[in-house]
Amino acid sequence: MKLSTRLVAILALTAATLAPALAATITVEVGDNFYRGPDGTPTIRMTVNDELVFQNVGSGTHPTASAQWITFIISPTRPTETFASGRFTAGTYPFLCTSHGGMTGTLIVTAATPTATLDARTAGISLSVYPNPSRGQVIVQLNQRPGQDYKLRLSNIIGQEIRTIALKPELTAAGLPVDLNDLRSGVYFYSLLVEGKVVATKRLVLQN
C-alpha cells in the first residue's frame, strides 16, 4: 500500500527516555522505464526497520536486479515485491532493470537510532494532538514547565521537515487550533522539541 507524505493526528506524549524509531512502509513505483520513490526520484531512503515495497504502475515487465536480492520481476501480472522490516542492513545498494539499460535506482538504508533525548514524563511535559483521525483541523495541547522553548516539528516519512510550530504556554495550555487542510492524506511523524532537543517522535495520520 502506498503511503503519501502527509499528516495528522494523535499524540499522547508521555515519553520514555529513549523512544524507538518507528517503522514505515516505503513504496517504490515501477513504471515504464523508471523507478520512483516517495520523493519522486529513483533514490530510495529508508531505515533498517522499514518495509520496502516495489509496486507496478506501468504496462511493462521489469526484472529488477541487485546484489542484495535475487532478481524479481515486476509487471501487471506480478504487481508487487515486498521486503519485510529488518531485511536490509545499513548501506547503499544500486539496483536496475535488466531489460531496460537506463532504468536504475539506488537504495540507501540507514540505521534506526533512538530519537528521544529527554524524559518528558519526568520533566512534567505532556502533549496531545486531537482528534484522531482528523480531516484537517486539530488541537495541540501542551502541559509544560515555564521558561523553556517548545516546538512541534512535522516530518514526512523520509524525514523531510514539513512544518515547525512554536508552542507558547499561553496558547497551548487551553489548546491551539492548527489547520492541516493543505496536507494530503497519509502518514507523518511529529517530534516535540524542548530547547531544540527532541523529546519524542510519534506517528500521525491524516484523513482529508
Q: Are residues 91 and 142 in the same domain?
A: no
Distance of alpha carbon 7 from alpha carbon 130, whole angstroms:
12
Q: Are residues 31 and 73 in the same domain?
A: yes
Count of Cβ atoms closer than 10 Å to residue 23 Cβ: 16
Domain end among 110, 142, 173? 110
**What is the count of structural domains for the chain?**
2
Q: Are residues 85 and 125 in the same domain?
A: no
Q: Are residues 200 and 120 in the same domain?
A: yes
Look at residue 179 and give its three-state secondary structure. strand
Distance of alpha carbon 40 from alpha carbon 34, whole angstroms:
10
Please check whether residue 4 lies inside any domain of the structure. Answer: no
Environment class of 95 (CB within 10 Å of its CB; exposed 0-12, middle 13-18, buried 19+): buried
Write down the pLDDT at residue 103: 95
Please check whether residue 136 lies inside any domain of the structure. Answer: yes
Q: Are residues 121 and 202 in the same domain?
A: yes
Q: Are residues 176 and 125 in the same domain?
A: yes
Q: For 82, how many CA atoms within 13 A lie in the half-sphere containing its CB?
A: 8
Strand order in the sheet with 62-66: 43-47, 104-110, 91-97, 62-66, 69-74
Q: Which residues pair with 195 in a beta bridge?
A: none
Q: Which domain holds residue 174?
A: 11-20+115-206
Domain at 133, CATH number? 2.60.40.3080
Nearest CA to 176 out of 168, 184, 188, 187 is that of: 168
Domain end among 110, 131, 165? 110
Distance of alpha carbon 15 from alpha carbon 24, whole angstroms:
20
Tens of pLDDT, residues 117-149: 455 555 567 777 787 677 878 888 887 766 778
Domain end among 110, 139, 171? 110
pTM of the model: 0.49
Please check whether residue 42 lies inside any domain of the structure. Answer: yes
Tens of pLDDT, residues 145-173: 667 788 888 887 777 788 888 888 777 77
The average confidence (pLDDT) of the chain is: 78
Domain at 93, CATH number? 2.60.40.420
Look at residue 169 and give its three-state secondary structure. helix
What is the distance of C-alpha 1 from the center of its chain?
A: 14
